[in-house]
A and B are shown apart, each in its own frame.
Chain A
Amino acid sequence: MDEQRRVAIRVPVLARVEGEGALEIDVRGDRIEALRLRIYEPPRFFEKFLEGREAHEVPDMVARICGICPVAYQMSAVQALERIAGLDPGPWVAAMRRLIYCGEWIESHCLHIHMLSAPDFLGYPGVVEMARDHPREVSRGLALQGIGNALIRLLGARSVHPVGVRLGGFHHAPAQAEVAAMQARVEAALPQAQALLAWCASLPFPVVQQRFTSVALRAAAGYPIDGGHIVSDAGLDIAADEFEQHFAEHQVPHSTALHCLLHGHPYLAGPLARLNLNIDRMPAVVQGALDATGLRFPSANPYHGLVARAAEVLYALHEAQRLLRDYARPASPYADYVPRAGSASGCTEAPRGLLWHRYSTDSDGIVKAARIVPPTSQNQARIEEDLRRSLQEYGLERADDELRALGERVIRNYDPCISCATHFLDLRVRRQ
């Protein structure tokens, strides 16, 4: 390669994204001089908006942060605020929170698998083209996504920015007949989810092995969704309240989203990290389906995140079926919240990974401080690390279009909230 060859790849607008971002790569000779996943969307200041608001307003406000994973924001928030108040809403609320969360995992994962990521592995520019050749698989994905949306609606009244969640529980408990109908729908979808997992595992993933640290929740029992310790495969094992002692966010000039590091290093959050750290917590039926794919977890191939998503769809459906089967309408769908002064954190597993919140309230329940660390912030440094390694191993001498396509695929594979993406358009290449 010509040592003086300089290539500047600019993707100024990451189109079809949940948010606004860009990718910039500067190559000189056989090395990457600079690589930046730029997130230039204006800061949204949600944490500041929350200050001065009453605690009971928080669940509805944080639901507006994301259209695809609003439940996660609500769940981390209510967990933290109820801990301040010393409120335990009881087993019915806990079960229903897990149920609505299952719905979110299903809809978010199915959206990502079918609309965003799978076309990359099958050589299609997008889901529309893939749907022409794979109508059965895409239809199956839509049906599963629809079940996820319906589960959220069952408790949240609507599936985007749901309004059914409140401190202490829910505003409304579904009627037994609604639950029975939902249970039948979930049960009928189980074979579809099993087929989805087999299909995802059969996709022609690049053979990649990378070293990275997986970070996820690990609960006393069961697969982690709504609680547990924060653990890593490097020996971390901490309570949510200890998060700030180990994880630090910092600003980088090229992004309005903070980068979060664990002991100064990038790490992976999300489905692959969860599965890597909790494969033993999957029920036998999901473990059996995973075994049948021939893939082994923990996996060091970042592309196996897609398989982890499919495994979690299957898990979430089984879990939803269990929770719906045991449903009994309570006398009240919530426990009373009595404000108290204090600070506490809450941490749950959003579809894309750890979602950590911390709140301080006064004795009237007025929010004095709020801090939210979303999974996309946590994965940004890891995405850039993966991009560097993947592009370097791929060969920087390749054509710009090939480098761009790989870069886009790597980013999409993480399903970052800024990249609810199918394509990054308007690539501009400047050669010197």
Chain B
Amino acid sequence: MTRLCIAGVGSAFGADRIGWDAVEAVAANAPPFSAEEVLLRCCAPFELPPLLATAEAAILVDALVGDNKARGWLLLDAAALAPRHELSSHGFGIAQALAVLRALGRLPSPLLLYGIRIDDPAASAAPPLPDGLIAEIAHRAARILCRCRQAPA
């Protein structure tokens, strides 16, 4: 069982890879996490169920098409995502993945989703990561780990 999974969700293509960029930046720039405790992954939505089924807590990072110009990203409670929303062009998105885990009673907790705003989902390359995002994810991860360590086994 992994304490915390930090997963960039998307694909290798264009703006869709911004979640992967974020997790790679966390791996490269954030204070190193113990590999025993933290799993860093770039994945597609259909990989989430097996990945998150073995995690106590999770932070997901994905592209978000929408207007959030103030900060460049949005922090959501991923567990509250409604499964009816198609978040993936392949039809199996984060919400569907989490719905499976919810039905199994295996949703990580907490389960946070950083949605990084992208203006053009069809762009051929991902935009730069918003300032402060990597530090924010690292800080949030450290707090979650601290809480996990204190929780009774």
| A interface residues (Cβ-Cβ under 8 A, vs B) | 15-18, 64, 67-68, 111, 115, 127-129, 131-132, 135, 138-139, 142-143, 145-146, 149, 158-161, 420-422
B112 to chain A, nearest CB (A): 21
Q: Does A159 contact B91, Cβ atoms closer than 8 Å? A: no
Q: Known contacts A16-B90, A17-B90, A146-B53; is A138 also within 8 Å of B100 by CB? A: yes
The contact sample of 14 A-B pairs, CB cut-off 8 A, is A15-B91, A67-B11, A128-B83, A128-B99, A128-B100, A128-B102, A132-B103, A142-B104, A146-B50, A149-B50, A158-B41, A158-B43, A160-B47, A420-B92
Point out residues on B near A: beta carbons under 8 Å.
11-13, 41-44, 46-47, 49-51, 53-54, 83, 86, 90-92, 96, 99-100, 102-106
The answer to whether A161 touches B92 (Cβ under 8 A) is: no
Residue numbers in A under 8 Å from B50 (CB-CB) = 142-143, 145-146, 149
A158 vs B51: C-alpha distance in the bound complex, in angstroms? 13
What is the CA–CA distance of A18 and B45 in the complex, to the nearest angstrom? Answer: 12
CA distance A146 to B54 in the complex (A): 10
Min CB–CB distance B26 → chain A (angstroms): 15
Contact status B46-A135, CB under 8 Å: no
| Given A111-B46, A139-B53: 11 more A-B contacts, CB < 8 Å | A16-B90, A16-B92, A67-B11, A68-B46, A128-B96, A142-B53, A142-B100, A143-B53, A159-B47, A160-B43, A160-B47
Nearest CB of B to A151, in Å: 12
CB distance from A152 to the nearest CB of B (A): 10
What residues on B are CB-neighbors of A128 within 8 Å?
Answer: 83, 96, 99-100, 102-103
Chain B residues with CB below 8 A from A17, complex form: 90-91
CB distance B104 to A64 under 8 Å? no
Query: Which of A16, A64, A132, A420 is within 8 Å of B12, CB to CB?
Result: A64
Task: Give the complex CA separation of A373 and B25 in angstroms.
Answer: 37
| Residue from B44, B86, B91, B96 whose CB has the most chain A CB atoms within 10 Å | B91
User: When the two chains form their complex, are residues B103 and A131 in contact, meaning their CB atoms are under 8 A apart?
Assistant: yes
The reply to whether A67 and B44 form a contact with Cβ atoms under 8 Å apart is yes
B104 partner, pick from A16, A68, A138, beta carbons under 8 A: A138
A145 — which chain B residues lie within 8 A by C-beta?
49-50
Contact: B42 with A158, CB < 8 Å?
yes
B12, closest chain A residue (CB) = A161
CA distance A422 to B106 in the complex (A): 21
Give B1 Cβ to nearest chain A Cβ, in Å: 12
Query: Could you tell me if B43 and A159 are in contact, using CB atoms closer than 8 angstroms?
Result: yes
- Docked CA distance A129–B104 (Å): 10
Complex contact B11–A160 (CB within 8 A): yes
Residues of chain B with a CB closer than 8 A to A143's CB:
50, 53
**What's the Cα separation between A68 and B96 when bound, in Å?**
17
